[in-house]
Structure 1
């Protein structure tokens, strides 16, 4: 498949997945997506030559080990066709328009940030909301190891009240627009393998770590 055909297939599938997303109101408004990417693309993400970081206790925060985090940044986009197809599809006018319409969010002047998280036994995340410079959050589940269905995001009615665990079915996702009640995290549990997720955000111009962005000099233009 040519790079252009691959890009078109990713855009088409993303648009279909967003259009058919299931909206839920409990414990806060969020959406559940299925068949997020073409299956071949979803599986090829797992074949990228990235290895899980060797880390001690994260303290419940990813930023405690910033030096070992992986992104679909300019380097990855230039080296790996899968990264390029995913990033360019998410940056496209067609996909942006669907996201804005489906989620009632304005992404003008934001930048795309795609983190590829490879979590192993011992990983956990304290409840947090993403409120601030993150204007949109999508959590895509791409693990296929035994038990991966239980490796989804924990969502909370408030910071200390777990409400539900989102199933981490392969090639599904949850999305939300960060606000003061969008509490989510990852309670400690057994990870028998690698928990593979894409953490996709559109972030405001105040985002400092510009090297993490897919297209640091190309904010989303007004439409």
Structure 2
């Protein structure tokens, strides 16, 4: 199997650019199959249930990040973090998306959403320079669990395809409204949220390498 960085670079070469409702990129076969399987097999239970009031911050203390401790405990977390910190990967992301990532810090959140979860429309603008979503579930019905892309009024214009090991990228801006409208989740909606954030990011415990900025 290819390593994570090589597989991800190949994925970026195949990225599909979409212009509406804002510029984003659809990705497929993002990770080697064994790495994807290893993430899904991590001994982490979905501990957030019920209504999140439209915000992940509602349950901040229960959120899961691929921080230094989790990387030390689980090799796949370390392998993914190293790949996304890697110069060739970061340079390719900058080339694809036009993002300025040098000097930012890598943040990887593992989300396990259950029935009742929803997210209000938001843009990610501000401290996040880059957002990437990676979908991990393959249970029946998960095809309906993609991220909703919206206009400024909160109207859903498109929903990203949800398939295991696929995902999307966008660069936060004033028009990048997205969320997750209420709908049934029969099982666990698993995903990774990857951000490169500004150096001033206060929650250092969330970062993969809190003392090492990204270099290109």
* Residue in structure 2 matching 1:171, options 165, 169, 172: 165
Answer whether contact 1:148 1:195 (CA < 8 A) is retained: yes
Q: CA deviation at 1:21?
A: 0.3
Give the match for residue 26 of structure 2. 32
Q: CA deviation at 1:157?
A: 2.2
Correspondence 1:178-189 to 2 at 5 A: 178-189=172-183
Answer whether contact 2:17 2:23 (CA < 8 A) is retained: yes
Report how many aligned residue pairs link the two structures: 216
Correspondence 1:47-62 to 2 at 5 A: 47-62=41-56
Answer whether contact 2:50 2:114 (CA < 8 A) is retained: no
Correspondence 1:101-180 to 2 at 5 A: 101-180=95-174
- The whole-number CA distance in structure 1 between the counterparts of 2:207 and 2:58 is 19
Answer whether contact 2:114 2:185 (CA < 8 A) is retained: yes
Correspondence 1:79-94 to 2 at 5 A: 79-94=73-88
TM-score under structure 1 normalisation? 0.94
1:78 aligns with 2:72: yes
- The whole-number CA distance in structure 1 between the counterparts of 2:56 and 2:187 is 19
- The whole-number CA distance in structure 2 between the counterparts of 1:171 and 1:57 is 26
1:41 aligns with 2:28: no
> CA-to-partner distance for each residue in 1:42-94, whole Å, 9 max, x for gaps?
11111000011143421100001000000000001111011011110000011
> CA-to-partner distance for each residue in 1:119-170, whole Å, 9 max, x for gaps?
0000000010000000000000001111111111000122322101111111
Structure 1: segments with no counterpart, 5+ residues = 1-5
Answer whether contact 1:128 1:159 (CA < 8 A) is retained: no
Give the match for residue 3 of structure 1. none
Moved >4 Å (runs of 4+): none
- The whole-number CA distance in structure 1 between the counterparts of 2:96 and 2:86 is 16
Equivalent position SS for 2:151: strand
TM-score under structure 2 normalisation? 0.97
- The whole-number CA distance in structure 2 between the counterparts of 1:60 and 1:190 is 15
Equivalent position SS for 1:158: coil
- The whole-number CA distance in structure 1 between the counterparts of 2:182 and 2:201 is 29
